[in-house]
A and B are shown apart, each in its own frame.
Chain A
Amino acid sequence: MSAIRHPEPRSLEQVRAWHEAMNESLFAHRARVLANIRREAPAVESRFMGMSRGEVGDFFHAQRKELDDLSILAMMASAEAAIRADYARRLYRRGGDGLTREYVALRGRLGAQVRASLDEDILEAMRGCGLVSLHLVSRFRDALRLRHWLAHGRYWKLTLGGYAYSLEDVFRIADELIQSLP
């Protein structure tokens, strides 16, 4: 069996739709488990054996929190893919806009063999081109800190400065940045 995985980028909307579908499944599952308590149904998934209503609620709350975090990671990964695809297209087409010129200059500095860093190279080039809102780039960079924390195992304390970043927040931040690219 082949182990090749071909490109299959997901749009931000696809990630959001997946998250909604999973959330609906969790709610439906919770409703079924809670109904089992009322009906004294003997058939039950073993993990729920003996759980009270409150414990079932806590269990599904934790599942939804985990789903939110993993969806945020997937959302940021999709955003990165979209930004990197845009970066590659601009280098290929060599248009005359300021962002493309910044990217071409960046490629010249890095050399063809060095992969550009999203944060330190590509987003910095966006900042420098004068065509993308600095505010949008700054917000996306801040959300990247959450992405790194999730992607690298959450082993350090992350302070997000009062911004909790729901999935919708991340969707809006990523979408506004991508849509604003010239």
Chain B
Amino acid sequence: MPETLTQFFREKKQRADAESASIDWEARKREWLEAIEGLYGEVRELLRDPLEQKTARLARRPKEIFEDHLGRYQVEELVLTVGDEEVVFSPRGRNVVGAIGRVDVEGESGEAMLVLQPGPRWAVVRSKYPALKLVPLNEVSLEETLRGVMRA
């Protein structure tokens, strides 16, 4: 291999290492996993009435994610079951554009996106076009989200 290319690679690696060293990826992953747990707790709390009345139930199932810098790691999806219908809260990743984490809400009739904002706090992406509209996750926005992804 030509020395110039070797040198080019060496310089790129040094820059990448320097940039990466300034970021505590393990801490980012830890905070991300904690935020997912926080979200699931929030959802459980917001759905307390239907859960207590047993019109809905929550369960978890494992999922594996691979991301640059964070490597391969395990998370859990949260599965909301209402009758014969499921809605899955599925973490997509920590490293996403414009947020510090993303969880998709997948139902039979649609999908929605939850993003983790600095704080940290969860928000629902209500629209991307023509302008970005984020609404905080709360009882109202969760209900709207679930109605949007579940069968009518």
Give the size range of A's interface with the partner: 10 to 19
For residue B118, which residues in chain A have a CB less than 8 angstroms away from its CB? 42
Find residues 26-68 in chain B having any chain A CB closer than 8 Å to their own CB: 67-68
Give the size range of B's interface with the partner: 20 to 34
Min CB gap B130→A, angstroms: 8
For residue A180, which residues in chain B have a CB less than 8 angstroms away from its CB? none
The answer to whether the Cβ of A123 comes within 8 Å of any Cβ in the partner chain is no
For residue A52, which residues in chain B have a CB less than 8 angstroms away from its CB? 67, 92-93, 95-96, 102
Question: Are B19 and A37 touching (Cβ within 8 A)?
Answer: no
The 0/1 profile, CB within 8 Å of A marked 1, for residues 85-99 of chain B is 000000011011111
Find residues 31-81 in chain A having any chain B CB closer than 8 Å to their own CB: 33, 36-38, 40-42, 44, 46-53, 56
Partner of B115 from A36, A37, A50, A56 at Cβ < 8 Å = A50
Partner of B125 from A37, A41, A49 at Cβ < 8 Å = A49
Q: CA of A56 to CA of B95 in the docked complex: distance in angstroms?
A: 12
Question: Are B131 and A46 touching (Cβ within 8 A)?
Answer: yes
User: Contacts A50-B115, A50-B125 known; A56 to B19 CB distance under 8 Å?
Assistant: no
Q: CA of A56 to CA of B5 in the docked complex: distance in angstroms?
A: 28
Q: Which 10 A-B pairs have the closest CB atoms?
A: A46-B132, A44-B98, A48-B97, A50-B102, A49-B98, A46-B128, A51-B97, A52-B93, A50-B113, A50-B96
- Please list the residues of chain A having a beta carbon within 8 angstroms of any beta carbon in chain B: 33, 36-38, 40-42, 44, 46-53, 56
- Please list the residues of chain B having a beta carbon within 8 angstroms of any beta carbon in chain A: 19, 23, 67-68, 92-93, 95-100, 102, 113, 115, 118, 125, 128-129, 131-132
